[in-house]
């Protein structure tokens, strides 16, 4: 059985994961409007991945006999800067999500909830990958600077994300 504190925070996490999907969808729309279709495609896939994360949390709450309490999702921004600025925002957002996963894990440890710790291990590892990927793309964009050719190459690389 989940503690009330962990259940409340898992429900909050569902909201944050859905917000992440919403944020990345807004970024995708921005890139589409700017004709950066590779960046837009990458963001759409990221949004779908975040929806999947929300579903993992939702299903886990149900598996443990808890009740899901869906919450209102904040509206994401609709205006963004250049690709490097956007990926700096992505990295910052993923670091926030990592802090949320760490909070959940710390509650599970305090509660001696080994099942939740086991489930959260997947998310701990996932966040390492998420931050690494965002930092890598940001690094490429910073190195590219104002080089249109380099931006087109990065755009094309991101379009091929499986």
| Domain layout of the chain by residue ranges | 4-159
Rounded average pLDDT over 113-130: 98
pLDDT in tens, 33-48: 999 999 999 999 999 9
Give me the DSSP letters along 83-102. Answer: HHHHHHHHHHHHHHHHHHHH
Span 124-128, mean pLDDT? 98
Looking at residues 129-148, what average pLDDT do you find? 97
Query: What is the total residue count of the chain?
Result: 162
Q: What pLDDT is attached to residue 161?
A: 84
Buried b (16+ CB within 10 A) or exposed e, 1-25: ebbeebbebbbbbbbbbbbbbbbbb
User: How is domain 4-159 classified at the CATH fold level?
Assistant: Ferritin (1.20.1260)
pLDDT of 146 > 70? The answer is yes
Classified as helix, coil or strand, 1 is coil
So what's the pLDDT on residue 47? Answer: 98
Residue 30 has pLDDT above 70, yes or no: yes
Say how far apart CA 23 and CA 17 lie, in whole Å.
10
Average confidence (pLDDT) over 25-38 = 97
H helix intervals, the chain:
4-33, 37-63, 83-110, 114-144, 148-159
Residue 24: partners with Cβ closer than 8 Å, 6 or more residues away: 43, 44, 46, 47, 50, 90
pLDDT band for 162, please (50, 70, 90 cuts). Answer: low
- Note the pLDDT of residue 107: 98
């Amino acid at each position: 059985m989940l503690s009330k504190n962990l259940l409340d925070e898992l429900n909050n996490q569902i909201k944050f994961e859905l917000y992440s999907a919403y944020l990345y969808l807004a970024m995708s729309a921005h890139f589409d409007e700017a004709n950066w279709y590779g960046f837009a495609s990458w963001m759409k896939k990221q949004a779908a991945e975040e929806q999947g994360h929300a579903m993992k949390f939702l299903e886990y709450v149900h598996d443990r006999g808890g009740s899901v309490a869906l919450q209102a999702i904040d509206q994401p921004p609709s205006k963004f800067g250049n690709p490097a600025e956007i990926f700096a925002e992505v990295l910052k957002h993923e670091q926030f999500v990592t802090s949320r996963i760490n909070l959940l894990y710390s509650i599970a440890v305090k509660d001696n909830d080994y099942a939740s710790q086991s489930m959260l291990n997947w998310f701990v590892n996932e966040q390492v990958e998420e931050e690494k990927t965002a930092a890598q793309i940001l690094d490429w964009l910073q190195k590219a600077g104002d080089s249109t050719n380099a931006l087109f190459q990065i755009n094309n690389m991101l379009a091929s994300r499986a």
